[in-house]
Amino acid sequence: MGKQSRRKRLIVKHNPAQTPADLPVRRPGKFILVALTALVLVTILFLTSSKPVRKSESVPQRSVPTAESSADETKVAMKKLLEDRPRLIHLLKNVTAGDQEGTMLAAFLEDEGRFTRLLANHQTIEMAGNTTFKVVIASRPDRIRAGITRRSLLDNQFIFDADERALIIPELGEFTDLWGGVVATHELRHAYDLIRNIERPHSTGDEFHQGEVRAYELEIRLLDRYAKGAFTKETRAVQESHRGEDGDPYKHEDRPRLDAFFPPAVGVDEGAVRSGLYLTAVYFAGIDPKSKDVARQKRRIVAMLYERLAAK
Ligand SMILES: [Zn+2]
């Protein structure tokens, strides 16, 4: 796969009908916009359209609107941004509570992430602060409306874009808080690794696969913590149940066994992310923890899954 989408998560799209959201609609508090305007820095060009887009991609495309973002649009975006920042930080702290690495990453987001929202004309509205990376909250309609044509950015998914140093996340509420938080933590791990020089941008081979292993191990641990240990236990049971069979040790029909520990998925995007994580987790569960090369085996599994994804 092209390097633009290297950080794209392993998404498995074979979802059955999705269950409706189980989350209560959160009523945001009132904000005094005038006072908060001071927090907003500038609007800047973002996600430039000059980057190549392969012809073969059947991506809905739009011409970039020529009008400037209206004052109203800016106001609304600002209000949402100021609601979303504490909400996302709170959500991340909840999901990572009790996990040292996860807690460190939640603090990294709070301390170093510059929260932005996408406006028309590829512009973003940003909050002030001393920051090392951007957090872009953008729904699929936002992404299309802003004229983004990059395939990897059009999916309503969580992505860390190394070129832009941007953690791009869907609108809050489009995933359950649990899974949105867990998946955001995966991408935050990539952001952290890049910014702290733990991993080079556009890494390849073992370095890239090890980065993915780090992120997936973290996700699996957070989910397991939520399920009080029952999640990884069940991934082992799923693995066992397919012993001796051809193909993957996780089949689509196993999904309810693993979903049982979590709130129902909000929609197909979350469903696809879950399938990718379950597949990885069940493969990992097949590794003998006593073997000497667990890390290498995990890298191999990730390499195999990403190769398969790239071939699609
Ligand atoms: Zn990743």
Q: What spacing in Å lies between the alpha carbon of 34 and ligand 1's midpoint?
A: 39
Higher pLDDT, 148 or 182: 182
Q: What spacing in Å lies between the alpha carbon of 193 and ligand 1's midpoint?
A: 11
- What is the DSSP secondary-structure string of 181-198? HHHHHHHHHHHHHHHTTS
Higher pLDDT, 206 or 58: 206
Q: What spacing in Å lies between the alpha carbon of 187 and ligand 1's midpoint?
A: 6
| pLDDT of 68 strictly over 90 | no
Q: What spacing in Å lies between the alpha carbon of 289 and ligand 1's midpoint?
A: 23
Above pLDDT 70, what percent of the chain?
Answer: 76
Predicted confidence at residue 152, as pLDDT, reads 66
3-state secondary structure 118-183: ECHHHEEEEECCCCCEEEEECCHHHHHHCCCCCHHHHCCCCEEECCCCEEEECCCCCCCHHHHHHH
Predicted confidence at residue 231, as pLDDT, reads 98
Q: What spacing in Å lies between the alpha carbon of 83 and ligand 1's midpoint?
A: 27
- Mean pLDDT across 303-310: 92
Predicted confidence at residue 72, as pLDDT, reads 86
Q: What is the chain's mean pLDDT, rounded?
A: 80
Predicted confidence at residue 13, as pLDDT, reads 55
Tell me which amino acid residue 285 is. A
Q: What spacing in Å lies between the alpha carbon of 298 and ligand 1's midpoint?
A: 14
| pLDDT of 53 strictly over 70 | no
Q: What spacing in Å lies between the alpha carbon of 100 and ligand 1's midpoint?
A: 19
Predicted confidence at residue 104, as pLDDT, reads 98
Q: What spacing in Å lies between the alpha carbon of 67 and ligand 1's midpoint?
A: 36
Predicted confidence at residue 227, as pLDDT, reads 98
